Every structure is written in C-alpha cells, then in structure tokens.
C-alpha cells in the first residue's frame, strides 16, 4: 500500500533510504525508497525539521538535497546553526 501523499510535493531527495515529502500544512512524510527495506512514516512538521537542524553540524546531510518545494516550506525560518555562523563571521564566539 502506498503511503498517503495527497497534495504533497517532494521536499528532499538525497537520503539513501527515504525521500521527504511535504504537504501544504507543512507536515513532512518520510517515504521509503523501493528496495531499501525501510518503512514509510510521518516525519514531523516544520518545527521538528528546525529542531533537527539546530542540533546538526554544517556538513550534516540534513542540509543537502532540498528541492524548491522543501525550501519553500522552510522559507523564513532560521536555525541556531545559521545564527552561530553569522555570530562567528561577525567576530563573536560560538558557545556550542
């Protein structure tokens, strides 16, 4: 049975086992790629994605592979990682 993706758009496509899809309400679904052995599931909302990004490193795969639909869902938000990078670039110290 296919995972329900009514009105959803591909948001992120670089993960080995899953693709992330987002619906108009900002709810993300992790859809298992065929043959991966993974299970499709609800991933979380925009706030959940931002929380994950707040705990990620700059090189983390979470920051890679976003489609235009995924970027649009996150547009206008920021994470502490971005804030720390701006602070350090301005001569401040990161407290991470």
pLDDT tens digits for 14-24? 778 999 999 99
Comparing C-alpha atoms, which of 69, 14, 4, 68 is closest to residue 42?
A: 4
Q: Are 17 and 32 in contact (CB under 8 A)?
A: yes
Task: Inform me whether the pLDDT recorded for 47 exceeds 50.
Answer: yes
Place of tokens 């329900």: 4
Position 1 confidence tier, pLDDT thresholds 50, 70, 90: very low
At 95 the pLDDT is 45
Is 1 contained in some domain?
A: no
The domain tally of the chain equals 1
Q: Is 69 exposed, middle or buried (0-12, 13-18, 19+ CB in 10 A)?
A: middle
Place of tokens 């992790």: 30
Tens of pLDDT, residue by residue over 74-96, are 887 765 555 544 444 444 554 44
**Residue 54 tokens, joined:** 């707040």
Domain that holds residue 83: 9-89
At 19 the pLDDT is 93
Q: State the DSSP code for 29.
A: E
Is 17 contained in some domain?
A: yes
Q: What is the mean pLDDT of the chain?
A: 78
């Amino acid at each position: 049975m296919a995972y329900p993706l009514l009105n959803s758009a591909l948001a992120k496509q670089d993960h080995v086992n899953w693709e992330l899809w987002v619906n108009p309400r900002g709810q993300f679904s992790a859809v298992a790629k065929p043959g991966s052995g993974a299970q499709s599931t609800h991933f979380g909302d925009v706030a959940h994605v931002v929380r994950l990004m707040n705990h990620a490193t700059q090189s983390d795969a979470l920051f890679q592979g976003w489609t235009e639909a995924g970027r649009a869902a996150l547009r206008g938000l920021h994470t502490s990682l971005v804030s720390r990078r701006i602070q350090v670039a301005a001569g401040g110290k990161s407290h991470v």
